[in-house]
Amino acid sequence: MLYRMELSTVKRDEMRDITREVTAFVHKSGVKHGHVIVYCPHTTAGITINENADPDVKHDVLMRLNEVYPWEHPQYRHAEGNTAAHLKAITTGTSQTVIIEDGELLLGRWQGIYFCEFDGPRQRRCYVKIHED
């Protein structure tokens, strides 16, 4: 089963928790045992899994990514001016896979699935592919 998620981002850099939406797709699918792939088809955005209990973690991750990949750098050559966004997307990756067990995502106690925007605000999408064992 393939589901499409539409997202509107509001900041240049943001991490949006999409765990609830992915969980809803898993429940809708009826799959009890399998896995789900969450995929982002954009070159300046990504998907990651990280802590979702303390919002300061998102702040700290984005702060450090901005330090490592500053928006402006004298040696960047990409004409669109968003090289930092591409580098951040490469770092986070385009997809994550999560096991489904007994109809639920097998995430750690503090984990959540995040859509990571690095060149917003924009209209974005991601895909959720659910496989049954």
The residue extents of the domains of the chain are 2-132
Residue 79: what pLDDT?
Answer: 85
Q: From edge to edge, which strands make up the β-sheet containing 33-39?
A: 2-8, 123-132, 33-39, 95-101, 104-105
Residue with tokens 């925007």: 117
Q: What Cα–Cα distance (Å) separates residue 99 from each residue in 38, 41, 95, 102, 131? A: 11, 21, 14, 10, 10
Listed in sequence order, the residues at least 6 apart from 12 whose beta carbon sits closer than 8 Å to its beta carbon are 71, 117, 118, 119, 120, 121
pLDDT digits (tens, 9 = 90+) for 40-78: 999 999 999 999 999 999 999 999 999 999 998 989 899
Listed in sequence order, the residues at least 6 apart from 31 whose beta carbon sits closer than 8 Å to its beta carbon are 1, 100, 103, 130, 131, 132
CB 128 within 8 A of CB 36: yes
CATH class of 2-132: mainly beta
Residue 105: what pLDDT?
Answer: 98
Element (H, E) at 87: helix 83-92
Residue 7: what pLDDT?
Answer: 97
CB 116 within 8 A of CB 46: yes
Task: Identify the bridge partners of residue 130 per DSSP, sorted by sequence position.
Answer: 36
Residue 81: what pLDDT?
Answer: 87
Residue 88: what pLDDT?
Answer: 98
* Cut 0.85: pTM above it: yes
Residue 115: what pLDDT?
Answer: 98
- Residues of the chain falling short of pLDDT 50: none
Residue 84: what pLDDT?
Answer: 97
